[in-house]
Structure 1
């Protein structure tokens, strides 16, 4: 059985969010605090999600093209200075290495290839190297490219746009009031300034949060609305993973329901923005990952920056099992027999029965 999409394979993308919020700040806080029944909030979120994105789910693949050697002290990050986390450190990959990673990402069904570097921001030489790589990937593979490279000035933003960059990731991470609690080597205002430079250059922004770093519900409400005020079109919602070397003073224990409520709040405040389930979905959403797609329309596959995640096949299976469809880059996925391709990994596939018969029940 061939994969049959009910909506176009690639939906038209906007640079800026244009649709007004469906709920106000008080309703947002009520959803986050549990005052509004989950099913009622989810139903409202799904109607908005279906209106703007149908039943497709965009799959993004991250490529950590430069790891470690970072002078910043972002408390949530395993690559922060003096973290002592043991992450593998390496300088920026060559354009050829990055291109081959992009080829692999496209073969795995990626809608967008996301390149991530550690550091405060690229110098002029690194900016030219990134521009060359972006142009090669977009022209030769026809793959959309997102870059996360830290703080940028206006000139660098315009250079990357000219090379074909269509998205830039620069998360706000938390509210303005809470930001000094998680980082003291740069300011919240500097992050907003970078976003402004890129948007003026015509680059669509990808900017989201990390939930669970000791913020209050009003902090979370504030940053949801700041992202809306900046007209951000792509919003990754990360759930804090207590990686080795982190410096978050009071990380929260996140329940699957609260994570789902957070995604619902983002959808209802940002109806026409891509809401992405990012790091932490496997460990925090757990059994509600499929349900989360009724609010979110995007996710990462094949891991995150320094943490392993679900592989592409498992991610695609979860999407299909939940009644949605993976959205590929133009020309990808049209001839793939997903029922056949994924069937061999099904627990009840005939070849797996010899192992199933060996099952022995134990109450220990």
Structure 2
């Protein structure tokens, strides 16, 4: 006789009900999501979709990254091809000029992105770099309907305020991994310093963007902890990256997360941070592969085009995927209710 498993299935809709009522999942419930049997993946994603659709309907937000300064970084982050410990063969150049940044913004519009992300390698921006980025941001804000995100590293006192004055909507500074694991991923700065930069950004009235990289040896418990930490930090936008183990980096031999596990991670973040922009980010193409469309039943945001030093999927394929799902790309409308900057340090 065939074996019949009498164990009752988990009621994933109860997890959606909890998220919609404002109750965060417990650690045990979070582990249930990450360890869900593969045959329950579709019911799990349907429950995540209930939450996603309540807050975002069928809308998809697109973001485009520009690597405004490449390599030359003194930090030792083990996942990064631009770090001082990396042997990866990548371009290395100082901060691009204003015209190059404006050209990047125009390309973001052509790709139907609502947010243009200016990213610079390094521990943190010099005063000169900050002024040059601010000047470009003012010109983009004056001439193009784009939301601007900056990602320039650790910020010192007063720097977030300068970016806010220039019109930066959002600042990205990822936590990347758990507090417990951080010292095994980077030693030249701390987890606490990353949190401090996110708090500086919030205090300046800029919308905080902070996310994670999955696949660096973390346990399921650590993944749940990351999601709960970002909920407590009140990050408005949460990029969920999946490690692209670039040759020449200390993590080049790391194993890849399965596509099914990646989808469970996205569902977890949707349940724990129900009303936040959850972005399926770096590594999605090589991790999710043919299952990429399913990610958008939990996530509501994508990066389009290339990443910092690795290629992304052809933009037309992303547009086609969104259309085939019956979803709609969100275009940024200046002055709309879709948050210019945070209205107060508390985000009210």
Q: TM-score under structure 2 normalisation? A: 0.87
Instruction: Give the superposition deviation at 1:79.
Output: 0.5
- The 8 Å contact of residues 87 and 249 in structure 2, kept in 1 or not, is answered as no
Partner of 2:194: 191
Cα distance in 2, alignment partners of residues 266 and 285 from structure 1: 16
Cα distance in 2, alignment partners of residues 123 and 53 from structure 1: 37
Cα distance in 1, alignment partners of residues 98 and 237 from structure 2: 26
- The 8 Å contact of residues 154 and 198 in structure 1, kept in 2 or not, is answered as no
Instruction: Give the superposition deviation at 1:88.
Output: 0.6
Instruction: Give the superposition deviation at 1:249.
Output: 7.9
- Which runs of structure 2 are paired with 1:275-286 in the superposition (5 Å)? 275-286=278-289
In the alignment of these two chains, the number of paired residues is: 314
Q: Could you tell me which of 104, 125, 128 is aligned with 2:128?
A: 125
Cα distance in 1, alignment partners of residues 211 and 218 from structure 2: 14
Cα distance in 2, alignment partners of residues 273 and 154 from structure 1: 27
Cα distance in 2, alignment partners of residues 229 and 52 from structure 1: 19
Partner of 1:155: 158
CA-to-partner distance for each residue in 1:33-83, whole Å, 9 max, x for gaps? 225932232122101100100101111111000001100000000011031
Instruction: Tell me how large the CA RMSD over aligned residues is.
Output: 1.6
Mark the CA change 1:223 to 1:19 in structure 2 (over 3 Å): closer, same or farther: farther
Partner of 1:92: 95
Mark the CA change 1:124 to 1:19 in structure 2 (over 3 Å): closer, same or farther: farther
Instruction: Give the superposition deviation at 1:19.
Output: 8.1
Mark the CA change 1:237 to 1:163 in structure 2 (over 3 Å): closer, same or farther: same
Partner of 1:134: 137
Mark the CA change 1:64 to 1:19 in structure 2 (over 3 Å): closer, same or farther: farther
Question: Secondary structure, in 3 states, of the residue corresponding to 2:113?
Answer: coil
Question: Secondary structure, in 3 states, of the residue corresponding to 1:89?
Answer: coil
- The 8 Å contact of residues 209 and 236 in structure 1, kept in 2 or not, is answered as yes
Partner of 1:28: 30
Question: Secondary structure, in 3 states, of the residue corresponding to 1:318?
Answer: helix
Partner of 2:11: none
Partner of 2:291: 288
Cα distance in 2, alignment partners of residues 291 and 253 from structure 1: 18
Are residues 1:173 and 2:165 paired? Answer: no
Cα distance in 1, alignment partners of residues 213 and 281 from structure 2: 9
Q: Which stretches in structure 1 are left out of the alignment for 5+ residues?
A: 1-17, 332-364
Are residues 1:253 and 2:253 paired? Answer: no
Are residues 1:310 and 2:300 paired? Answer: no
Instruction: Give the superposition deviation at 1:136.
Output: 1.1
Cα distance in 2, alignment partners of residues 208 and 262 from structure 1: 12
Q: TM-score under structure 1 normalisation? A: 0.83
User: Where do 4+ consecutive residues of structure 1 move more than 4 Å?
Assistant: none
CA-to-partner distance for each residue in 1:335-357, whole Å, 9 max, x for gaps? xxxxxxxxxxxxxxxxxxxxxxx
Are residues 1:300 and 2:303 paired? Answer: yes
Cα distance in 2, alignment partners of residues 135 and 149 from structure 1: 17
Partner of 1:348: none
CA-to-partner distance for each residue in 1:299-318, whole Å, 9 max, x for gaps? 01111111101122111001
Cα distance in 2, alignment partners of residues 86 and 283 from structure 1: 20
